Structure 1
Amino acid sequence: MNFGDWGREQLWGRAGSPTRLMLTMGQILDDNFRVAVKSLSEIDDVLASIEEFGQWHKLPVEIVFHLQLACDELLTNAVSYGFPDGHPPQIYLLISRKNNTIEAEIVDNGIPFNPLAQSEPDLTSSLDDRKIGGLGIHFIRTVISDLKYHRTEGWNHIEMVLPIPSDFP
């Protein structure tokens, strides 16, 4: 998936909440949803827009929930930890329905971070003895079977593919 003709500058320059941006751009009527996220306060609107996208495409509730869980965790991590030097965050979420799959990509210009390179959390120790962190990525790995990361030209790319069951319309 890529930004195509819908460039970063065009997307980043739009005002309004992610939901309004999506509806203004008419993306809910398309097989694609694209949005810029600049702060934690916008993530709830993004999650609501994912639900609208799922309803528009009549997706199974489980797929929508898994996508929301993954996007919530990854967007929260990007906003919270990806910009320690204070430079303005540029974070984009792209979601597409392609035949029997939902493809999502989160792209950001934050510090290099491959969440898939993180070790699995210790689930056997007591909560008091466990190292903080890693459970969000663990949950994502549990619900998203096809997950990839790469870094290109200063941008982190996390790609997710969720299959739509063949018996679903």
Structure 2
Amino acid sequence: MQKNKLSKNEVYMILIFIGAIFILFYWTKLYFDNKYEKKLAEINQLQEQYKKVYSLYSKTINKTEKLNESLLVFIQDTVSKHNLSDKMASLKPQNISGSYESVILRLENLGLNETVDIIKDIDKFSNIKFNQINQSRRFDNEKKADLVVEIVKLK
């Protein structure tokens, strides 16, 4: 029986082939590790953004105060507090059956800060909800707007 002996060149070729396969697998591993690290960094970044958004959301949701006075009186006081009585076009109570109070407030010629302030003051109570908010830009002054808000108080 004859033994197949490998020549020196064949041994070198096999070693080169094994080395090339090892290098190919090593480069592939490095490539996918790099992709993995990038995706992991993206996931961590998104997770941090979600945490920030959730904390902002939870700050807006945590309303603990309840309005105990009449909704109509509260809206009149809030409008007066912001010195918007002269801009109040109408304040109409609505007839709703059940345990609800509802009013429609119409303010005219408001600036953006005035609009945000009045909505923020009304929205801080847990038993007050907005049914409808309609803001329309004025044609005589584009920096001002008219605001119509339907506000509902749960009793």
TM-score (norm 2): 0.37
TM-score (norm 1): 0.35
| Bigger radius of gyration among the two | 2
| Higher helix proportion | 2
